[in-house]
């Protein structure tokens, strides 16, 4: 990468954390870059992250990919016998299913606000994919 890389283009190559929770230090993190999200969405994300770590353990993170898609990541400290590997997989599958609309909306928000994509084309694409019908 060039030393003169423009800060506004930095998002093109990195995963951006939206929010995270840790069962180890009982903390929740929300990226202030997204302070413009509605309070109800921020509350829903907070609850989702904290409940996940209370049930499964470890660290739960919601991130945006460089393309603007939403992904869920989990990890645990080495030797953490309380971390539920099997429950983790099941819970992630359930969260993805139940929160599909939220994640889709967050992805559109990121693509418009951060990646500066055309909102009309994103909504048209969702209609074609059958997601927003």
Distance CA 83, CA 23 (A): 10
Distance CA 120, CA 117 (A): 9
Helices of type H across the chain: 39-56, 85-98, 100-113, 119-129
| Whole-structure pTM value | 0.82
Distance CA 61, CA 19 (A): 6
pLDDT at 6 over 60: no
pLDDT band at 3 (very low <50, low <70, confident <90, very high): very low
pLDDT band at 31 (very low <50, low <70, confident <90, very high): very high
């Amino acid at each position: 990468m060039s030393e003169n890389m423009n800060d506004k283009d930095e998002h093109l190559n990195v995963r951006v954390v939206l929010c995270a929770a840790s069962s180890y230090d009982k903390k929740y993190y929300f990226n202030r870059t997204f302070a413009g999200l509605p309070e109800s969405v921020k509350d829903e994300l907070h609850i989702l992250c904290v409940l996940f770590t209370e049930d499964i353990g470890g660290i739960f993170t919601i991130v945006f990919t460089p393309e603007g898609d939403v992904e869920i990541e989990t990890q645990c400290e080495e030797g953490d016998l309380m971390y539920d590997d099997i429950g983790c997989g099941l819970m992630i599958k359930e969260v993805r299913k139940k929160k599909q609309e939220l994640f889709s909306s967050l992805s559109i928000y990121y693509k418009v606000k951060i990646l500066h994509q055309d909102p009309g084309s994103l909504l048209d694409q969702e209609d074609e994919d059958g997601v927003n019908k």
